Chains A and B, each alone.
Chain A
Amino acid sequence: MAVKLSFETIYDPVLEKKVKGFEIVRLKTLVMFKHVGGDVEIRDGIVDTGAYVTLIPKSIWKNLEIEKITEHEITGLSIKPECAIPVIIGKTCCSLIDENGGTTGELKFHSYLALTDKVPLIIGFKDLLSKFKVCFNYENNKAYIEVPEKIKRGNKNVKK
């Protein structure tokens, strides 16, 4: 079983004024979340092999079953305290899926639950990307996650 990923090639108008043809490439996935009430939603997420932990915007996680662990702050390139984003470290569940029915199955994972929506949904390593073989070849426009048999079997017994 494989879950297809997609590339997005973006030309940032701000950068384009400075460097012509300066493309930005993002790797994207579809993420399926189940609400406490049973509704299911599908979200567009960034696959970030540089992210230690998955980051979830508030409007997405507020509807999910969450196991809150502690409060924390994360920073980006700038480590200034005023640039920090307050988060809750917690556990929740999701599946990475594709349009053709490919799925990782339900996975329980640690995540940073942002207290704002001013961030994208970023899929990071901890308990998610670290579980899979992630393959991508931009030149050939091919990207996918390989789902090992043991994970597929284990997903049937995910404890919530």
Chain B
Amino acid sequence: MELELKGITKRFGSLVANDRIDLSVAPGQVHALLGENGAGKTTLMNVLYGLLQPDDGTILIDGKPARFGSPKDAIAAGIGMVHQHFMLVPVFTVAENVTLGIEETRRSGLLDRRKTRKDVRELSHRYGLEVDPDALVENLPVGIQQRVEIVKALVREATVLILDEPTAVLTPAETQDLFRIIRQLKQGGKSIVFISHKLKEVQAIADTITVLRRGAVVGERPPSATEDELASLMVGRSVQLRVSKQAAKPGDVVLDVTDLTVTDETGRIWVNGMSFQVRAGEILGVAGVQGNGQTELCEALMGLRPTAAGQVTLNGRDLTRATPTQRLRAGVAYVPEDRREDGLVGDFSVADNMVLDVYNRPPFASGIRLHPDAIAANAAERVQEFDVRTTSADTPVGTLSGGNQQKVILARELGHEHKVLVASQPTRGLDVGSIEFVHRRIVDQRDKGVAVLIVSAELDEIYALADRIAVMYEGRITGFRPPTVPAEELGLLMAGATDQNPGPPGPEPTPSAPTAIPGAGQ
């Protein structure tokens, strides 16, 4: 099936989300839609999937115009969509989820579970999806849940599959698996529309790349196009993908962590006797596959989780038992991993969020009295300084884009006096322009003599920023390396190989060794 979009235009009030977009997807092709957040990718796909009606333009299927009043029409025409947020019922099995809405019944009117299970198994085998039809969805990892969504689309006989930011929720290893599946689907004659803002992934998987910017197509490129070219097209100006930085000039030890052990309420050990030091004017990058204790490490450093054993000192001052406030005052700046959940109060204004952890300090308060004028003045200044794109400082921060939200957090954390910056996944979900900005600021901090600890699951980010790399695996540091270390070696360390014990430990080798992840990450 050949799919073609011609002159699709979609307006929301005065905002033109899609401006005369032409796009054609050939059968058996992976067509990538590349663009920053807000470039109109999702709107375009919602038009294609019948969730939105275009104001202008036509959708052609095999040359014949089609009109999708609802997703039902789109599905009937052979279009399937895997949303960024899955639409699954957690307490149902895979087979039940797949059959939901198109239940097969036997002549008696009862559900034909056996046939559904057979269909799922058969499809799953044909495309290498390896999904167990009887597993409960809530017990499945995110990567497998995504495959269930793919199976759902396939059962409905989709020939064009739209994947909306499919890798946003995946680990590097899961991303590799997804790419393998996409290739298999391609061989099976399916067309894939792959929506992403990650350059490397798009280069790794796409046959054709269409770049969107501000609702319009700004170019079509083969996957052989250089990263820089794609990034410039996407952002509309030339961007530096890798921050230029001088060699670090490390000073005295600022943050000293000795034998830190962190457990959760159930007694499970997340951080197991970690020791490291961060010096003034250097960036220590903690690499590792998500879920190896990085979150718990950062939370313990901030005092958000109790420290089970070990010691944390800042310039020689013992902070092991300090509260979050005491740590903030002692000079820790903290950029949390999940900015919406832990970093910001979405309903609060930009101005209020910029003082979220200094609201009770002068000049913002004296005694218990708040000084709204000082808060507003601070916001005006910081919005300017950090180039936060917002209509006003009174706008609820939840309505800003991810990049601007992160700028608000940075503005706040770098605004109060600090000696250490702890930043967890500082650019997760951000577009290229914002990543450049955030990286620039972090390197600036280092150059000002701040000790910086970066935790990131993106190897590229670690390489771009770190002066020294520590690799974390199952709560331990498996090795320190200079930033010149080859990715393969880091991958081995991330899979649990230690300097003493090369090769993944344990009877079952961890499949998550993210060594060969050229496509993953930024």
The judgment on whether A and B are partners is no
